[in-house]
Amino acid sequence: MKNRRIFLQKAGLSALALNLTPLNPLWALNEENIMNVAEDKPLRVAIMGLGSYGTRVANAMKDCKRAKLVGVISGTPSKIEAWQKEYGIPAKNCYNYETYHQIKDNPDIDAVYVITPNGLHKEHAIGVANAGKHVICEKPMAVNAKEGKEMVDACHAARVKLLVGYRMHFEAKTQEVIKMRMNGDFGKVLFFQGLSGFVIGDPTQWRLNYELSGGGAMMDIGIYSINGARYMIGEEPIWVTAQETKNDPVKFKEGVDETIQFQFGFPGGAVASCLSTYSMNNLDKFFLNGTKGFAEMQPSTGYGPIEGRTNKGPLTNPHVTHQTTQMDEMAAIILDGKKPLVPVDGEEGLRDLVIIDAIYKAVKTGEKVGLV
């Protein structure tokens, strides 16, 4: 789209230079009109995985300006039928997990949002990429860094974009704090605290099944503190230490973590202290401290509204449904080549997976694990 826009702009300027009169007034496009043409084109999205979060994304997309829900992929026929009625999805854009590779022959779908269990992300994302469609994958991008790297490589080979569902990267109050840090309003950043947790319910759900989840709380809620430490401090950690607490080994079986405390060190000297848990409520808080000021957000990563304050006063940015903003911004990234304030690409997702691997290693060994 960007190249096409540049071509049209150059073509229009050349015509003006030669004082040529267009044969058809439709060709009389100035730069503003060309931009409007680009921005009018929606990103046509199919959602893979029609569970509770897939439903949340679909409902949020009703208010999108650049992204449009046009297809579904599910293993449950009744869900497909219900979504067809609710969202006006044509039968030709409906697939199951055996047939979704056929989207390769469907020009009406641009991208697929993979919202299946973590353990299926790699298979589904690579399948979508091989079908020639852009991939949006819910976080964590995979169950470990090895699988994440395979996903990044597959999408690169297929020449499609791989984006990860980091909705907080687009949230207004979060962006305000990041911009303040970038502008030096907090001075030298010294400390970050991230608390992420809730009491998980149904013990039979896939999130407590190691084969499908790849872990426990860390692979669900803990990633918010990992990712948050990185974008709030603005650096990549160079070491990690971690300790696990498990009070209910029946509910939280081998490989499924209940509670992990973890600490990071950063090259600029800042440290982070974080908690990830499936056994405590009221834990959704970020705190950033620097030599000149601070930022405190609570709730910091829930569906909103986010609340927060800094040394300069309360954060007052209006609340917009996170997934609505996320999908519109991702449409701009894919269609227009827009560069986000904080990356949401596969490399960003891979960095979190490398850190998660290191946290689990630190838990097992009891040692400080270096990150490169």
CA 250 to chain centre: 32
Q: What are phi and psi of 345, to 5 degrees?
A: -85, 180
DSSP 8-state secondary structure symbol assigned to residue 167: G
285, 300 contact by CB (below 8 A): yes
Burial class (CB in 10 A: 0-12, 13-18, 19+), 297: buried
| CA distances in angstroms from 244 to 4, 260, 275, 305, listed in the order given | 53, 4, 10, 31
User: How far apart, in whole angstroms, are the C-alpha atoms of residue 339 and residue 321?
Assistant: 21
Amino acid at 154: A
What distance in Å separates the CA atoms of residue 160 and residue 148, rounded to the nearest whole number? Answer: 15
Q: Mapping DSSP to helix (H, G, I), strand (E, B) and coil, where does residue 339 land?
A: coil
Q: In 3D, which of 154, 144, 118, 213 has the Cα closest to residue 353?
A: 144
Q: Please confirm, yes or no, whether 139 is among the known catalytic residues.
A: yes
Q: Among the options 100, 113, 122, 139, which is catalytic?
A: 139
Contacts of 16 (CB under 8 A, 6+ apart): none
E strand segments, 293-349: 294-297, 308-310, 313-314
- Distance, CA of 26 to CA of 34 (rounded, Å): 11
Q: In what order do the strands lie in the sheet with 43-48?
A: 94-95, 67-73, 43-48, 111-114, 134-137, 162-164
Choose the catalytic residue: 100, 224, 231, 278. 224
Residues annotated as catalytic (active site), given as ranges? 139, 224
